[in-house]
Chains A and B, each alone.
Chain A
Amino acid sequence: MTTVLAAKGLNKRFDDLVAVDGVSFEIAEGETFGLLGPNGAGKTTSISMVAGLLEPDSGTVHVGGTAIRTSSTDGRAEIGLVPQELAIYPDLTGAENLKFFGRLYDMAGDELERRVGEVLEVIGLSDRKDDLTREYSGGMQRRLNIGIGLLHRPRLLILDEPTVGVDPQSRNSILESVENLSGQGIAVLYTTHYMEEAERLCDRVAIIDEGVIQAEGTRRELVSLVGEKDRIRVTMTGDVEEVARIASELPNVHEASVSDSGVDVLAAEASTLLPELLSRVSAAGANVTGVAVFEPNLEAVFLHLTGKALRD
């Protein structure tokens, strides 16, 4: 897989405050990479350097092999930026906003018209395209904000907390559009402080706190890194003591114990264990009434790594 973005050793101080300290990561074509961290972690500062808005004190950014600098326009056309703050003109219509930014990327004529139509379709605003965006709902404005970043077909799309302050429905449609992007081969850099979003969208996640990347990997890697286990709760009628004993002897099971109405099993990977576990339970003559799987989440990983909760 081709590397689209390579950020190496990024550092940025604001006076006495070290906002970003030695941040490095790479994103490949079609990959969605999450930067997960609480307020003030340095997410926006990092991506500002990636997008060429902010000159790093040290470190380099390459997109498609081209160095990104604030003083040069090289490589910028490969990047689509969706800023954390809404970046749209309230007194232009949705279509006018898209066209204006498209022209800055040297799009014009029929090609621009066609692409604006496509993007409006993707963000579900075709029927509102001729309304001033000041009349849009918050969620619609957010969707347009994303659409502008996509318009010029960037190879790298950077989304900075795109779902903040959005209703659940709009949020879901935003997440769906982002999921679709990786299918189109776009490299996505996604910052968030919602671990559910990072888990759902991202192939790999970097956990960032106080300007430093604390850990990086797939969700599974991160979870195993801190020794967290999946928990399977099987509710049943029958001999729970016997089932717990059988379960604890299965390979990869860390621990099995009797709970109120069934058995709790701790294991490294619930999904591979589940079929075997259930057939053993049936074989033991117990009657399964329900199964629930609790996978340890990034919240727990974050807590483990930093000793604090992700959200304040």
Chain B
Amino acid sequence: MGAATRIAGKDLKLRLRDRSVFILGIITPLALAYIFHLVFGNAFSADSLELEVGLVDLDGSAVSQSLGEVLADLDADGILVLSEFDDPVAAEAAVEQGDIGALIELEPGLGDAVLMGQPFTIEVVGDVDSPTSTQVASSIASEFGSAVERAQLSVATAVELGQGPPPEDVAAWGQEAAQRPPAFTFTDVSADTRQLDANTFFAAGMAVFFLFFTVQFGVVGILEEKQGGTMARLLAAPISHASVVAGKAILSFVLGVISMAVLMVATHFLMGAQWGPPLGVALLVVTGVLAATAIMGVIAGAATTADGAGNLGAVIAVILGMLGGTFFPIGQGNELLARLSYLTPHAWFMRGLADISGGAEWTAALPAAGALLLFSVVFGAVAWALLRRKLGK
């Protein structure tokens, strides 16, 4: 252990002399998080989540009115704010001026088209500055559309099978189907899964995204020692091979924890990021840094040069970061992506922070911390074996 910390101490000195670790580990993530904060700071923060949706019903049929009712219910539940318009021109102007985030337009003849089994369109006009309102309006409209299509289908089937029920009945069934409560439910996700407010989300996302670059400054040092010729001296010294590998891992861990701590404190003061109970945060940071070190250790063990490891590491860090939802909440509305994202430590880290947000206990971080620890152990074992083998020859 003594030799490992001496090696880590020497490397820390070298890394601090070379400014790239500051740039990649602190300046860049901080700058990006701050830019996101300025641009999207209020886009989807939990407190100011203003989903303002407008509705123009030019059809006025039973079918179109049932959508109005659904929206009114959501309004009553406080999930969105509904504004009804009579004039489509005024409604679109309201979108343009940002009074409402998105507009659902129901064209005349929609109800008839539905009853006759003909194709129909529901138009959604979105405000570019309110991506969330637009997304919500679109998904409501498309869910409604598919509910209506299912009704159409059952009517059509009845017509084919049934020995020709009178057309009046068919029309009645159609109306009934359309009036049935639509076969979709709009669940308020924040109720069962907690979410980070926008600023904390950006800060956490950038911090964990760049963490994977920062920890590289530790483990890739093994390749640098080999290329720089100093590995021969380390191996000739009366220290074990394990302590050489451990020294590099310690440096990764220290750099990772320092950068995360600095970023968390800085984003708290700069952009109001809220991190939750310190014990829970510390647990997530420690297990998150371990997982990042382990994965980057595998990359260093697989590469033959430091540059190669840097390039491969960057590619992996970007892919995992994107998939893990560090830039934008991935998989909202895409089940598959949402599942896949949990193959990344990033997603677990973000999830853990969300779990302890909004006044939860620190113990809420345990599941995510457990997942991160699992990443650390599995990838850590592979990295250890690969890196030890590198020294053997």
How close is B80's CB to chain A, nearest CB, in angstroms?
Answer: 58
Q: Quick check: is A239 within 8 A (CB to CB) of the other chain?
A: no
Partner of A103, one of B6, B14, B17, B393: B6
Instruction: Contact check, A87 vs B230: say whether CB atoms are below 8 A apart.
Output: yes
Partner of A87, one of B14, B232, B238, B240: B232
Instruction: Contact check, B239 vs A53: say whether CB atoms are below 8 A apart.
Output: no
In the bound assembly, the distance between CA atoms of A92 and B11 in angstroms comes to 10
For B393, the chain A residues whose CB sits under 8 A away are 54
Q: Quick check: is B237 within 8 A (CB to CB) of the other chain?
A: yes
In the bound assembly, the distance between CA atoms of A54 and B6 in angstroms comes to 24
Could you tell me which residues of chain B, from 50 to 67, have a CB within 8 Å of some CB in chain A? Answer: none
Could you tell me which residues of chain B, from 12 to 37, have a CB within 8 Å of some CB in chain A? Answer: 13-14, 17-18
For A91, the chain B residues whose CB sits under 8 A away are 14, 17-18
Partner of A148, one of B13, B17, B18, B233: B233
Instruction: Contact check, B236 vs A73: say whether CB atoms are below 8 A apart.
Output: no
Instruction: Contact check, B238 vs A77: say whether CB atoms are below 8 A apart.
Output: yes
In the bound assembly, the distance between CA atoms of A70 and B240 in angstroms comes to 9
How many chain A residues touch B (CB < 8 A): the figure is 28
Interface residues of A (CB under 8 A from B): 48, 51-54, 70, 73, 76-77, 79, 81, 83, 85-92, 96, 100-101, 103-106, 148
**Which residue of B is nearest A99, CB measured?**
B10
Mind listing 27 A-B residue pairs with CB under 8 Å? A48-B232, A52-B236, A53-B235, A54-B393, A73-B238, A73-B240, A76-B236, A76-B237, A76-B238, A81-B232, A81-B233, A85-B229, A87-B228, A87-B233, A88-B230, A89-B10, A89-B228, A91-B14, A92-B13, A100-B10, A104-B3, A104-B6, A104-B237, A104-B239, A105-B237, A105-B238, A148-B233
How close is A131's CB to chain B, nearest CB, in angstroms?
Answer: 13
How close is A21's CB to chain B, nearest CB, in angstroms?
Answer: 20
For B232, the chain A residues whose CB sits under 8 A away are 48, 53, 81, 83, 85, 87
A70-B392 in contact given A92-B14, A104-B239 (Cβ < 8 Å): yes
How close is B223's CB to chain A, nearest CB, in angstroms?
Answer: 15
Q: Mark B123-138, 1 if CB is under 8 A from A, else 0.
A: 0000000000000000
In the bound assembly, the distance between CA atoms of A51 and B238 in angstroms comes to 11
Instruction: Contact check, A87 vs B229: say whether CB atoms are below 8 A apart.
Output: yes
Partner of B236, one of A51, A86, A96, A106: A51
